[in-house]
Structures are given as structure tokens and as C-alpha cells.
């Protein structure tokens, strides 16, 4: 895919996300813009970031280059998420949107089950074939799933667990628009089995109906400190 087509697709997705005021989850801004700065200096504090003096705002505060460049997927899950939020594009601060490029390795590259606690996500497939889905909340826990091809779009509602799996033999690429300048991400396996300090294995063994030794193994796989939780000091 040419750089022009990639960037055009990404822009179209963001435009669709931003076109309706109801699509933005963050509070609406009370000024034209609020370019984020790390030091207060002569700025003012609005919606999570200090704002640069508007008279000092420049084009670079509202732009980012290189999203067309493929990212490495040489990791355990075979995917790479490049998030563009107010940290990468300071001019996004208070605007209520962000976006991401997602690269998937061939034959099973996975963006594992996760949630965005502050954003709805709309995904546009640019290359490859993705099996995607989300699970509804209790008590139904319905799996809503579909196979997507280039040009297909899918929506993941705010807060619901969702995933994308590359079921093709070639690499896949997608771009996502998110209805928050800071959508957050909670990867389920990492949060549950890799928390710091670790969750009591008795809790996980009962919740997942697993042998405790399997819980220990999973905590080790996800970097948790097995057997070193706050409950060890309890009487």
C-alpha cells in the first residue's frame, strides 16, 4: 500500500470519528485548542495537561510523521500498536480523539483481549484478513465477531473486552480511531496474571477454576512475583 493511500485512509477514519460531537467521550474544550506542555511555565491547566500559550502554538504541535512505516511484530503476541495521543501530538489535548496504527504478524499475529476504559474504538483494515470481536457485559457475555478484509470497518464499544487476530498468511495493518485523547488500555492477561503486586493465587484459582500450580505458572509467564503479594504478611 502506498504512503498516500495509507495516510488518506487514516485521515478518513479520524474525520468520521470527529464529525459528530456525540462521538467524543472527553469533555468538550472551552477554547480553540490547548497544546499540551510538560512544564507549567506561562501555561494554564486544562483537562489533564498544561496548555501552551496559544500565541506560541506551531504546526508541529498538531502533526506527526511516519505512521506509514511498518512496525516490528517480533514479540510474543505478534502485534505492535503505535498510539498517537496527546503525548505524541500535543495539539490533541482536550480534543477528545486519538488514533493508532496496528501491525499484525502473519499467521496469528494477535492484538490480545483488552479494553479501553475511556473510549469507543473504530477499526479500519488496510491490509490483510482479521478475525475481530468483542464480548458484551454480564450476564449475557455474548461474543460479537466478524472476519474483516481491507476496507472493512468494525466498532468496539467503550469498555468492552475486544481483540483482533490475523488469520491470513501475510502481514496485516489496521488503523483505529478512539473517542478519547487518552483512551487507556487494559490487556486482560497482563492485568490479571502480571499485576504488581500479584493477585492472590487463591483468588485466581477459584475465579478461573484452575489448579493453583497453573496460576503460579501463568503469573510467572506474565512477569508477576509469584507468592510475594500483600497477603503473605497476613496472620
Residue 20 has a pLDDT of 47
Residue 22 has a pLDDT of 45
Residue 69 has a pLDDT of 96
With vertex at residue 10, the alpha carbon angle to CA 4 and CA 14, rounded to the nearest 5 degrees, is 140
Q: Is the dihedral of CA 167, 169, 150, 177 positive or negative?
A: positive
Q: What is the mean pLDDT of each run of 10 residues along the chain (235 residues)?
A: 62 57 54 72 62 91 96 98 94 91 98 95 98 97 98 97 98 96 93 93 96 95 70 54
Residue 23 has a pLDDT of 47
Residue 3 has a pLDDT of 58
Residue 220: how many other CB atoms lie within 10 Å: 14
- Where helices occur in 112-211 by DSSP H, the ranges are 188-193, 201-208
- Cα distances from 52 to residues 37, 90, 128, in angstroms, run 6, 9, 41
Using only C-alpha atoms, the chain has a radius of gyration, in whole angstroms, of 20
The answer on whether 127 is annotated among ligand-binding residues is no
The answer on whether 75 is annotated among ligand-binding residues is no
Choose among 88, 81, 65: nearest CA to 114: 81
Which three cell numbers mark 5? 493511500
The answer on whether 111 is annotated among ligand-binding residues is yes
Q: 97 and 17 in contact (C-beta within 8 Å)?
A: yes
Q: 183 and 28 in contact (C-beta within 8 Å)?
A: no
The answer on whether 114 is annotated among ligand-binding residues is yes
Beta bridge partners of 194: none
The answer on whether 116 is annotated among ligand-binding residues is yes
94 Rama class: left (phi>0) / alpha (psi -120 to 50) / beta: left
Q: How far apart are CA 124 and CA 222, in angstroms?
A: 30
Residue 123 has a pLDDT of 98
What are the two backbone dihedrals, phi and then psi, of residue 170, each rounded to the nearest 5 degrees? Answer: -115, 165
Amino acid at each position: 500500500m502506498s504512503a498516500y493511500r495509507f495516510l488518506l485512509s487514516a485521515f478518513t477514519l479520524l474525520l468520521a470519528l470527529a464529525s459528530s460531537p456525540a462521538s467524543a467521550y472527553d469533555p468538550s474544550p472551552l477554547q480553540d485548542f490547548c497544546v499540551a506542555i510538560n512544564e507549567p511555565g506561562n501555561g494554564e491547566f486544562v483537562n489533564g495537561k498544561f496548555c501552551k500559550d496559544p500565541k506560541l502554538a506551531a504546526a508541529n504541535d498538531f502533526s506527526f510523521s511516519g505512521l506509514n512505516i511498518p512496525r516490528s511484530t517480533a514479540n510474543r503476541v505478534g502485534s505492535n500498536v503505535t498510539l498517537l495521543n496527546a503525548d505524541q501530538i500535543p495539539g490533541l489535548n482536550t480534543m477528545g480523539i486519538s488514533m493508532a496504527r496496528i501491525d499484525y504478524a502473519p499467521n496469528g499475529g494477535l492484538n490480545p483481549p483488552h479494553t479501553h476504559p475511556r473510549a469507543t474504538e473504530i477499526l479500519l483494515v488496510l491490509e490483510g484478513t482479521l478475525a475481530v470481536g468483542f464480548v458484551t457485559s454480564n450476564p449475557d457475555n455474548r461474543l460479537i465477531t466478524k472476519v474483516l478484509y481491507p476496507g472493512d470497518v468494525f466498532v468496539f464499544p467503550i469498555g468492552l473486552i475486544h481483540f483482533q487476530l490475523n488469520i491470513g498468511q501475510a502481514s496485516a495493518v489496521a488503523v483505529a480511531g478512539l473517542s478519547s485523547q487518552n483512551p487507556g488500555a487494559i490487556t486482560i492477561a497482563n492485568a490479571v496474571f502480571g499485576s504488581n503486586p500479584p493477585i492472590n493465587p487463591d483468588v485466581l484459582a477459584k475465579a478461573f477454576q484452575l489448579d493453583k500450580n497453573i496460576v503460579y505458572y501463568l503469573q510467572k509467564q506474565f512477569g508477576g512475583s509469584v507468592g510475594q503479594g500483600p497477603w503473605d504478611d497476613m496472620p
